[in-house]
Amino acid sequence: MPKGGAAIFGAVLAAVALVVVYLAIGRSGPRPGGPGSLVGAPAPSYTLMNLDAQPDALDRYRGHVVLMNLWASWCVPCRAEMPDLQRLYEKDRAKNLVVLGVNQGESLERARSFAASLGIGFPILLDRNQQYGRAYTALGLPTTIVVAPNGLVAKGFDGQLTFPEMEAAVAPLLAHPSQ
């Protein structure tokens, strides 16, 4: 083999080895963080108090498409997103959609006042210990998780969603509830 050929062969062999190592590490390494990493997994559920001081939990809504939104009143994008969540709830609740708000770490009074000020009518849970935030690997607020009627996570998003993004996230499940 000519001198230059040996160098090229060595470079190609090294490149192939790097690709093999990269693929092996990428497949066995941790999945990316955030709620999107839970797609296809059973949706964790915790019993918490709602704004009426009654116990409630995500799994109570099994059989429905659930758009669960983790939020706090101090979160500016959460405040901006709330009217669109209410609009989606009003538009699609007759199609088997439940919008479920999960307040992260605030008092009943604070969450109730915030919801009332924005005319929110969908159910809201009070997650004082932020169990849902940890379980869904929320990277910040707001965080939105779409749960299929079978209780599996269908989609997960970090950050504020627009109304068209919310509609697009639930539309396939509303159109084909068995998915």
- Pair 14, 85 in one domain: no
Distances (CA, A) of 45 to 77, 131, 135, 176: 25, 9, 9, 23
Question: By residue range, what is the domain housing residue 161?
Answer: 35-175
pLDDT tens profile 89-131: 999 999 999 999 999 999 999 999 999 999 999 999 999 999 9
Report the alpha-carbon distance of residue 93 to residue 97 in Å, rounded.
Answer: 4
- Pair 146, 74 in one domain: yes
- Pair 59, 136 in one domain: yes
- Pair 167, 106 in one domain: yes
- Pair 23, 72 in one domain: no
**Domain containing 90 — which CATH number?**
3.40.30.10
Q: What is the pTM of this model?
A: 0.81
Positions of the chain with pLDDT under 70:
1-32, 177-179
- Pair 2, 69 in one domain: no
First to last CA, the chain: 58
Q: What is the pLDDT of residue 1?
A: 53
Q: What is the pLDDT of residue 15?
A: 40
Q: What is the pLDDT of residue 176?
A: 83
- Pair 44, 5 in one domain: no
- Pair 17, 45 in one domain: no
- Pair 16, 43 in one domain: no
Give me the phi and psi of 153, to 5 degrees please: -70, 125
Report the alpha-carbon distance of residue 141 to residue 69 in Å, rounded.
Answer: 9
- Pair 151, 86 in one domain: yes
- Pair 71, 147 in one domain: yes
Specify the number of domains making up the chain: 2
At 170, which amino acid appears? V
- Pair 44, 14 in one domain: no
DSSP code at position 32: P
